[in-house]
């Protein structure tokens, strides 16, 4: 009985040490988002597909994620108003620098635009008189 308890404890210690090293492993994913001219794009939404995890790029177009867990494949989704959405597959293991993401502007042709107004502004009327009399 004592021998079987020792074996169970030994197996638990061995499996725990391997499991914790995988679970507690930190990964860093970083990169830069640019437009076609090479200018950085700030405030681009960067989301890990299938999760609520996300961030936005800073003023230099850079982003960074810190993730814990075992190595795995992820898909990053990049979205920005006026640009087509981009996706990149990344292997999450250690520190990963994603090659520059180039976003393409999205042009849409619109057949007709109707502008309506719900508010009417009334300008104040100024009145004055000119006295042309000589005394």
Q: 6-29: per-residue pLDDT in tens?
A: 565 655 555 555 444 445 688 899
Residue partners of 98: CB distance under 8 A and separation at least 6: 29, 30, 31, 76, 88, 90
pTM (2 d.p.): 0.63
> Which neighbouring-strand residues pair with 34?
40, 102
Task: Match 């404890």 to its residue by tokens.
Answer: 9
Structure tokens at 2: 């004592």
Q: 95-135: per-residue pLDDT in tens?
A: 889 999 999 998 777 677 777 766 666 666 666 666 666 65
Q: What does the mean pLDDT of the chain come to?
A: 80
Instruction: Tell me how many degrees the CA angle 31-19-53 measures, rounded to the nearest 5.
Output: 35
Answer whether 75's CB lies under 8 Å from 87's CB: yes
Nearest Cα to 104, choosing from 87, 127, 84?
A: 84
Q: What CATH class does 27-102 carry? A: mainly beta
């Amino acid at each position: 009985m004592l021998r079987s308890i020792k074996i169970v404890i030994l197996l638990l210690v061995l499996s725990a040490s391997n499991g914790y090293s995988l679970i507690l492993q930190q990964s860093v994913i970083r990169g830069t988002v640019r437009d076609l001219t090479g200018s950085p794009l700030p405030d681009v939404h960067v989301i890990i597909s299938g999760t609520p995890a996300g961030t936005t790029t800073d003023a230099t177009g850079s982003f960074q994620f810190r993730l814990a867990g075992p190595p795995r494949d992820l898909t990053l989704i990049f979205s920005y108003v006026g640009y087509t959405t981009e996706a990149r597959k990344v292997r999450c293991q250690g520190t990963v620098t994603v090659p520059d993401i180039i976003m393409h502007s999205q042009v849409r042709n619109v057949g007709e635009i109707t502008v309506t107004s719900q508010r009417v502004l009334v300008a104040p009327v100024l009145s004055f008189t000119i006295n042309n009399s000589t005394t």
